[in-house]
Amino acid sequence: MSGNAQESCSALPLPQGSVIGILGGGQLGRMSAIAASLLGYRVVVLSSDPDDPAVAVSHKHICAEVEDRKALAELAELADIVTYEREQLPLASVTWLSERVAVAPNCLALEVAQDRIREKSFFGSSGIPTVPWRPVTSRSEIIAAAADVGRPAIFKVAYGGYDGKGQATIEVGDTDEALFALWDRFSNGAEMMAIVERKVAFDCELSVIVARDRQGKMVTYDPSLNDHKNHILDTSTVPAPVGEKQLNDAGTMVCKIAEGLDYVGVLCLELFLMPSGELLANEIAPRPHNSGHWTIDACYTDQFEQLIRAIAGLPLGDSSRFSDVCMKNIIGSDAEDISPYLNAPNAKLHLYGKQDIRPGRKMGHVTYLGSNDPAGMAEANSLAPMNRRSYE
Ligand code: ADP
Ligand code: MG
């Protein structure tokens, strides 16, 4: 249905002063709204909290839950085109909205990205390699699924997981009872879908971002090396210390996915680099991604501007990188003292305007630019050790 509304979208490219709607009010919405504003657009955000990071930089806030049809109707009325900044959205709401106003990326992309079973099946049918995995659609299937993929394995709920939430490791020695208990803990008696996948010893994690416009033109960004702490992204470093082949393969894979979804917008693919040099697809995000925040300071056109250009029918910008870079997330109490970020040479600080510091909360990020300044890059390098296997 979204296709119909997209075709009936107001004249493209969207003229100056047009209104871009954003579902969700987090930091990704905030940075998208800033990019929209720089291109002369106005932004209306639909989210449930007036203190949300995106609200402060938008022209209008519809304060409501995403399920609220009256609020969605108002958004459809006000906006010329709508995008979303997270995939944990009720598909029914977005589909309903897409029948009234153009929504990009389309509902198919959202549907695939928010359901790990559909996502992994889509990778398979597109010829994109993944770790061995099995769907688990009922409690009784979990034992066989773990046996099929081999242990240790990782159990992941199909819907709603993020930052490692909704996941647990299945150890080699876990009993059948332990696996059933795992299912019961996550399902809490309700219906649930999940997957079990082999836990692999990858060399490192990479991600790659593509922007695709309405004519199907695509530009990719340099893949980043991603390090996590407590299941939350800690640093993204570019260039990633991998060979040309891996860089090319990553770009080819993400473009194939974007084409397969008839995607318009910015899409991120998370990858595992295996000791063999093979890249395995882990998951996609149908939106700008935390591992692409470095593009704001190190590329001619960053991922947020690219999103706005793509959905507004403007030509995509140059995604070239003009500096080596390391992005570090500022999580929880890291935000208590910002002076190190302000004082570090070549550091560019981005705060999201969140009032309460809570453990695990993404408060901002800092980008360390360039290799000319030893202090800045020394810190960046110490944050993201480069002692990786080299594929050159
Ligand atoms: P999300 O980011 O939605 O929480 P992911 O599937 O990306 O879920 O998993 C979070 C992290 O857990 C990954 O970035 C990776 O570090 C680790 N992980 C996920 N799947 C596997 C796997 N099959 N083998 C080893 N590590 C994994
Ligand atoms: Mg992930």
Per-residue pLDDT tens digits for 70-118: 999 999 999 999 999 999 999 999 999 999 999 999 999 999 999 999 9
Dist CA 392 CA 390 (whole Å) = 6
Q: What is the pLDDT of residue 345?
A: 85
Among the bound ligands, name the one nearest to the CA of residue 202: 1
**Alpha carbon nearest to ligand 1 atom 21, residue:** 199
**What rounded mean pLDDT belongs to the chain?**
92
Q: How confident is the model at residue 370 (pLDDT cuts 50, 70, 90)?
A: confident
Structure tokens at 182: 């795992």
Q: What is the pLDDT of residue 144?
A: 97
The ligand 1 site (C-beta within 6 Å) comprises: 131, 154, 161-164, 197-200, 205, 228, 231, 270, 282-283
Q: What is the pLDDT of residue 389?
A: 37
Measured from the CA of 165, which atom of ligand 1 is nearest?
4
Residue position matching structure tokens 């389309």: 106
Structure tokens at 89: 């959205």
Measured from the CA of 197, which atom of ligand 1 is nearest?
23
**Alpha carbon nearest to ligand 1 atom 5, residue:** 164
Task: Single out the residue of 53, 112, 109, 102 nearest to residue 266, CA to CA.
Answer: 109
Q: What is the pLDDT of residue 367?
A: 95
pLDDT higher than 90, residue 219: yes
Hey, what long-range contacts does 165-172 have (CB within 8 A, 24 or more apart)?
Answer: 165/231, 167/231, 169/199, 170/146, 170/196, 170/199
